[in-house]
């Protein structure tokens, strides 16, 4: 694996830390970001000036991009390139099933293997190298890339052989996460209205059947402290739960709860633009934890 050359496009809140862990693991890494590469390039990586240069210097290219339209544009650009060495694209973005399948078709026609590999764990997990990756693509390709993948993730799951299956796992996970945040906000508000102490009620729930990631992490570490700094934007969580709803409708599976959850997050995002998603508690209750 150390003989392979890697590229990374998209050095934002998630991409930057993931790229830094790859470079820190001793892998050959070139990086590019349309928002400015030089100032975002992690130590140990090589900054290049364009996607063309990245694809000309990387056997495998990682993507960490904001949405499906951007991933599809990059896929089309890669497919049209004449001078490239990239033969595998590992897309770490959350873009929805349709976009992942379309990106896979575009790149397959160009002779490039596309891997649908969204991640979970937030910015803190990306920095610590503890995120989860949900790999939708051939298992033999995963095995060839296992070393580099484990340089930036702790939990690596092969969820299926096809593009879109990684997205399915990611979207249902984020739907559950978003539901837990919204529901926990209402539950905590009720507890406080009855004179309960937030820390004590969280302690009870976290050794009981209502425990979830909101009660075990977000509330004690981000909301009770008043920091609201989970490092994941409300807008991104809103996008993800909307994608879950859209894809669940397309699949013909139940959406009654999802419709309610999406409505809550949509209104929260409108009320608190550019906020950390833990501020759903403020939106639901109209107050801080303290």
- DSSP bridge pairs for 276: 233
Cα 217 from Cα 122, distance rounded (Å): 12
3-state helix, strand and coil shares in percent for the chain, rounded to the nearest 5? 50, 15, 35
Q: Which long-range contacts (CB under 8 A, 24 or more apart) does 38-42 make?
A: 40/11, 40/16, 41/11, 42/11, 42/16
Compute the chain's Rg from CA coordinates.
Answer: 20
- The catalytically annotated residue of 170, 199, 239, 249 is 170
Q: What is the largest CA-CA distance in the chain?
A: 67
| Residue where the block lists tokens 């109209």 | 286
Instruction: Provide the pairing of β-strand 60-63 with 131-136.
Output: unpaired
217 Cβ contact partners less than 8 Å away, ≥ 6 residues apart? none
Q: Is 249 a catalytic residue?
A: no
| Residue where the block lists tokens 């095995």 | 143
Q: Pseudo-torsion of CA 199, 202, 208, 209, nearest 10°?
A: 170
Q: Provide φ and ψ at 61, rounded to 5°.
A: -115, 120
Tokens of 58: 């990387």
189: Cα separation from own chain's centroid: 29
- Would you call 120 helix, strand, or coil by DSSP? strand
Catalytic residues: 170
């Amino acid at each position: 694996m150390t003989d392979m050359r890697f590229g990374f496009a998209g050095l934002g809140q998630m991409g930057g830390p993931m790229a830094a862990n790859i470079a820190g693991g001793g892998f050959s890494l070139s990086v590019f970001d349309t928002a400015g590469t030089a100032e975002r390039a992690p130590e140990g990586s090589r900054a290049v000036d364009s996607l063309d240069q990245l694809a000309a210097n990387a056997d495998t290219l990682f993507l960490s991009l904001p949405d499906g339209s951007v991933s599809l544009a990059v896929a089309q650009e890669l497919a049209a390139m004449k001078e490239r060495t990239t033969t595998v694209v590992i897309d770490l973005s959350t873009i929805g099933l349709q976009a992942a399948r379309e990106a896979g078709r575009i790149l397959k026609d160009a002779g490039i293997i596309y891997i649908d590999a969204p991640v979970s764990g937030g910015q803190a997990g990306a920095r610590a190298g503890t995120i989860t990756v949900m790999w939708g693509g051939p298992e033999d390709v995963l095995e060839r890339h296992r070393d580099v993948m484990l340089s930036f993730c702790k939990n690596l799951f092969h969820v299926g052989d096809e593009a879109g299956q990684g997205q399915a796992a990611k979207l249902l996970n984020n739907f559950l996460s978003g539901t837990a945040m919204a529901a926990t906000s209402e539950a905590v508000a009720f507890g406080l209205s009855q004179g309960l102490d937030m820390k004590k009620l969280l302690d009870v729930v976290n050794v009981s059947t209502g425990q979830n990631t909101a009660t075990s992490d977000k509330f004690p570490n981000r909301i009770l402290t008043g920091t609201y700094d989970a490092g994941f934007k409300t807008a991104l969580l809103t996008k993800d739960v909307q994608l879950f709803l859209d894809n669940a409708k397309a699949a013909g599976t139940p959406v009654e709860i999802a419709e309610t959850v999406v409505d809550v997050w949509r209104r929260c995002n409108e009320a608190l633009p550019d906020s950390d998603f833990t501020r759903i508690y403020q939106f639901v209750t109209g107050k801080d934890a303290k």
